[in-house]
Structure 1
Amino acid sequence: MITGDAAYIKKINRALIIKEIIKEGMISRADLSKATDLTRATISAQVADLLEEDLIVETQLEYTGVGRKPIMLSLNGQAGYALGIDIDYGRISFTLSDLLGNCITSSIQELSTTDYSEVLQVVIETIKQLKATYADSRYGIVGVVIAIHGLVGKDEIIHYVPRFKWHDIDLKSAIETECQMDVHLENNANLSAFAERIFVHHEANNLLSTTFHSGIGLGMMMKDDFFRGHDGFAGEIGHMIVVPDGKPCNCGNKGCWEKYASESSIFEYLSEEKKIPNLTYEHIQRMIDEGDAAVHKVMDRFIYYISIGINNLINMYNPDVLVLDSELLRIYPDSITKISNNLTSSISHYREITLSAMGKKSCVMGACALAIKKFLDVPILNLSYEISQQNKS
């Protein structure tokens, strides 16, 4: 039994009710009472508050039976909006979702600079424009979450962004002061993992999401929360050494995983081998389809090194689900089966390895979901994601 301050208990009950309403989509007061083990009186009082706050709405279903028509409760998705921002090298992605995680609008602004003050100005101007555009809803933009491709401490200070050469920057305070909004910063790989848990893998309490793009990032959800490590820097898995005394890495070590199993390493190698300066996924897809033996050999080697790292992750974390985000793995036939076949250790235990259905969109959608979670003040969310959202702009 929960005991303690009445206001605290009320807050816990509210979170339970909101979580269940979101999970079910539509639910009656009676079913809500059964699902949460709360009394009907408690449900009635809490629902009255949520209705008054416009956070939920009532819908009367068509009913041909005897007795009252059932009145269903659902979250009011249009009561407010969440803004996710992904600051990546060369571009900034902005996505606005409603409170149910449905994408309302997305845009990408190309970046020709890494200068902090210039990037800050672009972000502030866009936030202000969106804030003004959506000010008519009950709560407007409820929060902003920004994805950082680098080290973000538990204090939400940016400690280092390799490709921007940013060190010890308080981006959060700068934006909050200028825009008068609630802003949070999180590592991009963590947000990808969060999106996979919230939108796709609802039953995975322990989930790893690995991205294989310019480097290798690892987001970890353990017992439905981020695993950040002592200072918040956990997940720099790309710098796990897989080849002792191997290729030199910018981090100062040799033989780091991302020097062998990141997409950028494959692009760099094939671009030089094939004498194609601006190599694209389409080029590689064509060579795979044409049966280019050299490209198939490179891809098999890519999968071999991915498998080494995945084997280590499984043994370290024993996850329910591992989600791999790589366009190269998507275009190479049977890539997941080939990786799974390489995992031959009898002590490795996991439930599922899968390719991300959200792709690169997972980062910014994870940012939106985290803003929603913080606004609703719930322990976890189960939202739905339509694949068509990936192309919405």
Structure 2
Amino acid sequence: MVTGDASYIKKINRSFLISKIIEHGFISRAELSKITGLNKATISVQVADLLNEELIIETQQEHNNLGRRPIMLSLNRKAGYALGIDLDYKHITFTLSDLLGSPLSTEIVDLNTSDYDEILELLVKYIKDFQDKCTDSRYGIVGIVIGVHGTVTEDEVIKFVPRHNWHNKDLKSDIEAKAGISPYIKNNANLCAFAEQVYKHHHSENLLCVSLYSGIGLGIMINGELYEGYHGFAGEMGHMIIVPNGRPCNCGNKGCWEQYSSESTFFKQLSEKQNIDDIDYTDIQKRLNDKDSTFSEEMEEFINYLSIGLNNIINLHNPATIVLNSELLKMNEGALDEIKGNLTSSVSSFEELLISDFGKEATVMGACSLAIKNFLNIPELKLSIDDQDLPKLTVDVPV
């Protein structure tokens, strides 16, 4: 039994009610009381507060029966907006969503520099632009989350971004000083895992998401919560050594997993063997259709090394759900069956292995949903989205 002072209990009840309203979409006061176990008086007081704050709205449900039409409650999706940002190597993606996590607009800004100050000014400019666009809503921008392709400490300081060669950058404080709003700074793979759990896999509280683009990142959900480790660096499985004294990695070690099973490595190896520059996903699709022998050999090697790493992390985490985020695997219809065929150990155990529907959109979708969860201060967030509503991001060659 939860005990505490009245204000604390009220706060807990409020969070619980908001979660249930979002989960059900439209729900009556009577049904809320039934599923939460809270009495009608408590429901009435809480609902009145939320209506006054414009966080929820009332709608009269259409029905053909005699009697009063029930009044349904739902989240006011236009009360404020979340801004998700994917700070990648070649570009920055900005996605604005409503409070139910549906994307409203997306802007992609090309990057031709790794200079921290220049990129900081660019981030601040676009953040201010988005703030100006949202002034007509009750709460404006309710939160900003930035996904970084590198290590982030528990204090949200960027420890290291290999592609930009950044070390110990306090992006959070620098943006707050210039834009007047404090963003959350998260590892991109963690945001990918969060997006999968919030939008797609509500049933799975123990989920791993493996992102395979410019490197390999692992997002970990344990008991429905992001697991980031003691210093915030959990999930750097791309630097797990799978080939002793193998290919050199920019982390300083040799034989790291991402040197064999990231998409950037796949493109690099294929380009070198074919002596062709600028291979893109269109070329890959053609080679798949033509059953190109060199391509098939590279793909087989890619899948074999990927399976080795997956076997290791499955034994380490015993997840319920494993989501692979990879354009290459999505294009290759037989890839998933090949991977499953390689995971035959009697020790390894998981419930489902699948390929993400989000692709490159995963980071910004995870960022938007985390901003919403933090703003509403709720214990869990369950959203839904149709694939056609996802922002359609152009997938670059990941080199």
Bin for the TM-score computed over the shorter chain: over 0.9
Give the fraction of aligned pairs with identical amino acids, expressed as a percent: 53
Shift of 1:175: 1.0
Q: Which runs of 4+ in 1 moved over 6 A?
A: none
Residue equivalent to 2:93: 93
Q: Distance in 2 between matches of 1:58 and 1:390?
A: 27
Map 1:325-364 → 2, pairs under 5 A = 325-364=325-364
Residue equivalent to 2:106: 106
Output one character per residue of 1:344-379: Cα deviation in whole Å (capped at 9) or x when no partner.
111211111000011110101100001000000011
Residue equivalent to 1:155: 155
Residue 221 of structure 2 aligns to a residue whose secondary structure is strand
Residue 32 of structure 2 aligns to a residue whose secondary structure is helix
Q: Which amino acid aligns with 1:144?
A: I
Q: Distance in 1 between matches of 2:149 and 2:215?
A: 10
Residue equivalent to 1:319: 319
Q: Distance in 1 between matches of 2:370 and 2:285?
A: 35
Residue 215 of structure 1 aligns to a residue whose secondary structure is coil
Output one character per residue of 1:71-99: Cα deviation in whole Å (capped at 9) or x when no partner.
11000000000001111101110000000
Output one character per residue of 1:13-41: Cα deviation in whole Å (capped at 9) or x when no partner.
01110000000000011111111111111
Is the contact between residue 162 and residue 250 of structure 2 (CA under 8 Å) also seen in structure 1? no
Residue equivalent to 2:124: 124
Shift of 1:196: 0.5
Is the contact between residue 103 and residue 392 of structure 1 (CA under 8 Å) also seen in structure 2? no
Is the contact between residue 142 and residue 182 of structure 1 (CA under 8 Å) also seen in structure 2? no
Q: Distance in 1 between matches of 2:364 and 2:391?
A: 13
Please, which moves more after superposition, 356-365 or 329-338?
A: 329-338
Q: Distance in 2 between matches of 1:65 and 1:234?
A: 55
Residue equivalent to 1:69: 69
Residue 119 of structure 2 aligns to a residue whose secondary structure is helix
Is the contact between residue 105 and residue 392 of structure 1 (CA under 8 Å) also seen in structure 2? no
Q: Distance in 1 between matches of 2:132 and 2:392?
A: 21
- Tell me, which stretches of 5 or more residues in structure 2 are unaligned? 394-399
Shift of 1:195: 0.4
Q: Distance in 2 between matches of 1:193 and 1:106?
A: 21
Q: Distance in 2 between matches of 1:191 and 1:79?
A: 24
Q: Distance in 2 between matches of 1:197 and 1:11?
A: 25
Please, which moves more after superposition, 275-284 or 353-362?
A: 275-284
Q: Distance in 2 between matches of 1:265 and 1:22?
A: 41
Residue 108 of structure 2 aligns to a residue whose secondary structure is strand
Is the contact between residue 62 and residue 69 of structure 1 (CA under 8 Å) also seen in structure 2? yes
Q: Distance in 2 between matches of 1:350 and 1:7?
A: 42
Question: TM-score, normalising length from structure 2?
Answer: 0.97
Q: Distance in 1 between matches of 2:390 and 2:369?
A: 15
Shift of 1:244: 1.7
Q: Distance in 2 between matches of 1:211 and 1:26?
A: 34
Is the contact between residue 266 and residue 302 of structure 1 (CA under 8 Å) also seen in structure 2? yes
Q: How many residues align?
A: 393
Residue 209 of structure 2 aligns to a residue whose secondary structure is strand
Q: Which amino acid aligns with 1:311?
A: N
Q: Distance in 2 between matches of 1:60 and 1:319?
A: 43
Q: Which amino acid aligns with 1:353?
A: L
Residue 190 of structure 1 aligns to a residue whose secondary structure is helix
**Counterparts in 2 of 1:280 and 1:392: CA distance versus 1, 3 Å:** closer
Residue equivalent to 1:175: 175
Residue 322 of structure 2 aligns to a residue whose secondary structure is strand
Q: Distance in 2 between matches of 1:392 and 1:162?
A: 27
Q: Which amino acid aligns with 1:235?
A: G
Is the contact between residue 23 and residue 382 of structure 1 (CA under 8 Å) also seen in structure 2? yes
Residue 384 of structure 2 aligns to a residue whose secondary structure is coil
Output one character per residue of 1:42-69: Cα deviation in whole Å (capped at 9) or x when no partner.
1111000000000000010112324321
Residue equivalent to 2:397: none
Residue equivalent to 1:257: 257
Output one character per residue of 1:85-142: Cα deviation in whole Å (capped at 9) or x when no partner.
1111011100000000010110001011111110000110111111011101000011
Residue 46 of structure 1 aligns to a residue whose secondary structure is helix
Shift of 1:392: 5.3
Q: Distance in 2 between matches of 1:215 and 1:44?
A: 51
Is the contact between residue 87 and residue 147 of structure 1 (CA under 8 Å) also seen in structure 2? yes
Q: Which amino acid aligns with 2:144?
A: V
Q: Distance in 1 between matches of 2:206 and 2:391?
A: 29
Residue equivalent to 1:308: 308
Shift of 1:224: 1.2
Shift of 1:169: 1.1
Is the contact between residue 191 and residue 219 of structure 2 (CA under 8 Å) also seen in structure 1? yes
Q: Distance in 1 between matches of 2:200 and 2:340?
A: 21
**Counterparts in 2 of 1:182 and 1:68: CA distance versus 1, 3 Å:** farther
Is the contact between residue 173 and residue 182 of structure 2 (CA under 8 Å) also seen in structure 1? no
Q: Distance in 2 between matches of 1:391 and 1:50?
A: 30
Output one character per residue of 1:141-176: Cα deviation in whole Å (capped at 9) or x when no partner.
111110111111010111111111111111111111
Q: Which amino acid aligns with 1:380?
A: E
Residue 78 of structure 1 aligns to a residue whose secondary structure is coil
Map 1:52-67 → 2, pairs under 5 A = 52-67=52-67
Residue equivalent to 1:9: 9
Residue equivalent to 1:141: 141
Residue 86 of structure 1 aligns to a residue whose secondary structure is strand
Q: Distance in 2 between matches of 1:251 and 1:291?
A: 35
Q: Distance in 2 between matches of 1:274 and 1:245?
A: 25
**Cα RMSD over matched residues?**
1.1
Residue 79 of structure 1 aligns to a residue whose secondary structure is coil
Q: Distance in 1 between matches of 2:198 and 2:261?
A: 27
Q: Distance in 1 between matches of 2:321 and 2:202?
A: 11
